[in-house]
Chain A
Amino acid sequence: MTATQNAATLTDTTLEVDNLVVDVLTESGWATVVDGVSFSVRRGETLGIVGESGSGKSVTCLSIAGLMPPKQTRVRADTLRLLDHDLTRLSPKEMSDVRGPTISMIFQEPMSSLNPAFTVGDQIAEVLRRHEGASRRESKRRAVELLDRVGVPSPARRATQYPFEFSGGMRQRVMIAIALACNPDVIVADEPTTALDVTVQAQILELLREIQREHGMSVIFITHDLGVVADICDRVLVMYAGQIVESAGLDELFEDPRHPYMEGLLAAMPRMDNPSEALASIPGHPPRVGAMPEGCRFHPRCRYAAEACTGGPTPPLELVAAHHTTRCLRHAELTLKGNP
């Protein structure tokens, strides 16, 4: 996919990625785990990235943010632009300066992302001191403000407490406060609600929506839960075996999926509002890193696979409608079932 095919031509783009390739060092040598990923994110937009575990969705975002371990990772891209910064040219030190004010991450497990030995207030204040040179006093005051902003009750008292004194939902609010501290242009949320109860998940999603309305930042939301995607995303990338296999606006993707993998994912979601339908599943497993099938990477699990799908190079991402691409050779012949 070239940048022009994407919706990237719009002026208000905060992040632009073209042909991102990430190799990681495994026991059996270098293996490509992200293979030619291109996309862009607009200001104020929530872009969802979905796929099964191991599809490369997290590695894509960690690589963009420069958070993959450098010795075991090789990151290449034709374009990796975050606002005015060309990320391909930044040293790790420069990247670390850029990160706070422009891009920040929220991870799945807030307990392991927070330092158990420091108070929550200190950890938020540290970000402000590091990136904005705020004074000790000023940063403490703003940490309390941020806790208040993300809905932590009695923020002044809570700022002096340690992570273990917080519930899972409250810890995730603290992580959001840290991510918000420098008012970044892009927030990457990597399965931020997966470890939470549905009731708390609903609170956190609401909070993210509110913050985005106020600050207008771009959000990249990584998840495997299509229900969460339907709730919060504007546009979605579907990843499989290190590649984007489909991308479209939210409604179009769910109503009119054009890749058999997306159709399979939709059919596999158990629906509370329609329990009688048998649960479909996609047979087999995603391919292992370093053992990618010839032709379409999904063909061994695809019920529509034809002779042409089983060999040759990986099919290209093709534009099938405005802002809707799919990596399927048979997309024109197939009528796939969506979830309106």
Chain B
Amino acid sequence: MTAQSLPGRADPLLTVRDLEVTFAPRKRLFRERIELKAVDGVSFDLTEGETLGLVGESGCGKSTTARGLMRLVEPTGGSVRLEGRELLGLPAKELRSARRDIQMVFQDPYSSLDPSMLVRDSIGEPLDVHVKLGRTERVERVAELLRRVGLPPEYMTRYPHEFSGGQRQRLTIARAIAADPKILVLDEAVSALDVSTQNQVIGLLEELSAEIGLTYLFIAHDLSVVRHISHRVAVMYLGQIVEHGDAARVFDAPAHPYTEALLSAVPVPSPRTQRSRERIVLSGDPPDPSRVPPGCRFHTRCTYAMDVCRTEVPPLTPAQGSGEVACHLHTAGPRLAGASVRTLARVSA
């Protein structure tokens, strides 16, 4: 799979093509050097104002994709274009100015705020780097940012330890939007929060996107949250996107067996529904990314695996409704031609 593309609607804000991130351990005498391709040819577009959800099991490369496009880890191949400007290979100084447009929020609000810095200075730091305001203007701007994320401006003279988890995540969001970025990359940004607090933060993100037209790359392992917030969804497995499309299409008519299994594993908070659901329990863990199976990477855990899956890499083909899927079920054997795998499950059951 080399060219995976998520065609966006209008001119995309961010275009990622064939992104590759390889981790190679240092050379050691008498030891085989095993390279690990954490991200192996990922492509997608982000259109202004939309939210793209990126899902998959831990180790599938979703966080590394985000870090790669931010160049927090250096990609080993591909291209990342922000409004047509190539970010990969950009010298450090120019990269810094480009980063103003694309900011990141991490999972743990406890470790992403400097405990010895006042809130005012934590939030003001990106302003110092990118905007350079006078002292009073800076204070005014921080106050406005705090108000925007639903916190009283008086909080700017406090330290991070005085805040709860939810409030801290609001602070990191305030800092992320300080220099007016166009894109926020949210890496498990609400995962550490209690459900009620989590919903407040999601509400805030939705407000911000409506008010200042922010675009999100939303990475999370909680599929219910992803479904709620995303317009489009991409499903990753072992460093590659195996399926993508409009959120409603991917969740209601998954075309890839992995998506189907992933969705069926999410318990629904309703005892009656939960009892009546068909569950597909995937056996085993995802394979070691340094020893990727040949053919389709998912065939070792796939209930539908055919002979062709063990040898041939499936190409990306259009899925019915929207998006694409990389699975031989759509090109060989019992042909689905882009339809949901669920239709197949019903026939064979």
A residues contacting B by CB (< 8 A) are 52-53, 153, 167-170, 197-203, 205-206, 224-231, 250-251, 254-255, 264-266, 268-273, 275, 279-282, 285, 339-340
| Closest 6 pairs (CB-CB, A-B) | A227-B267, A281-B199, A226-B269, A270-B224, A202-B265, A279-B199
Question: Once bound together, how far apart are the Cα atoms of A225 and B266, in whole Å?
Answer: 11
Please determine whether A200 and B285 come into contact, CB atoms closer than 8 angstroms: yes
Please determine whether A202 and B251 come into contact, CB atoms closer than 8 angstroms: no
Q: A52-B194, A230-B271, A275-B228 are in contact. Are A199 and B58 (CB under 8 A)?
A: no
Among B118-126, B128-136, B272-280, the one that faces the other chain is B272-280
Please determine whether B269 and A266 come into contact, CB atoms closer than 8 angstroms: yes
Chain A neighbourhood of B139, CB < 8 A:
none
- Is B3 located at the chain interface by the 8 A CB criterion? no
Closest chain A residue, CB of each to CB of B193? A53
Please determine whether A270 and B228 come into contact, CB atoms closer than 8 angstroms: yes
Interface of B, secondary structure class, is helix
Please determine whether A206 and B281 come into contact, CB atoms closer than 8 angstroms: yes
Chain B neighbourhood of A275, CB < 8 A:
224, 227-228, 247-248, 251
Closest chain B residue, CB of each to CB of A251? B271
In this complex, the member of A153, A206, A272 whose beta carbon has the largest number of chain B beta carbons within 10 angstroms is A272
- Is B164 located at the chain interface by the 8 A CB criterion? yes
Given contacts A53-B194, A198-B262, A275-B248, 9 further A-B contacts (CB under 8 A): A198-B221, A203-B282, A203-B283, A268-B195, A268-B199, A270-B199, A272-B223, A272-B268, A280-B199
A-B contact pairs, 18 of them (CB 8 A): A52-B196, A197-B221, A198-B266, A202-B264, A225-B267, A227-B224, A227-B274, A228-B267, A231-B267, A254-B271, A264-B196, A265-B196, A266-B269, A268-B196, A270-B222, A272-B251, A279-B202, A285-B164
Please determine whether A254 and B269 come into contact, CB atoms closer than 8 angstroms: yes
How far apart are B235's CB and chain A's nearest CB, in angstroms?
12
Closest chain B residue, CB of each to CB of A205? B267
B residues contacting A by CB (< 8 A) are 57-58, 164, 166, 194-197, 199-200, 202-203, 221-225, 227-228, 247-248, 251, 261-274, 279, 281-285
Chain A neighbourhood of B195, CB < 8 A:
52, 224, 265, 268-269
Q: A206-B281, A269-B195 are in contact. Are A281 and B203 (CB under 8 A)?
A: yes
How far apart are A35's CB and chain B's nearest CB, in angstroms?
20
Please determine whether B282 and A273 come into contact, CB atoms closer than 8 angstroms: no
Question: Once bound together, how far apart are the Cα atoms of A170 and B263, in whole Å?
Answer: 22
Chain A neighbourhood of B251, CB < 8 A:
272, 275
In this complex, the member of B221, B223, B264, B265 whose beta carbon has the largest number of chain A beta carbons within 10 angstroms is B265
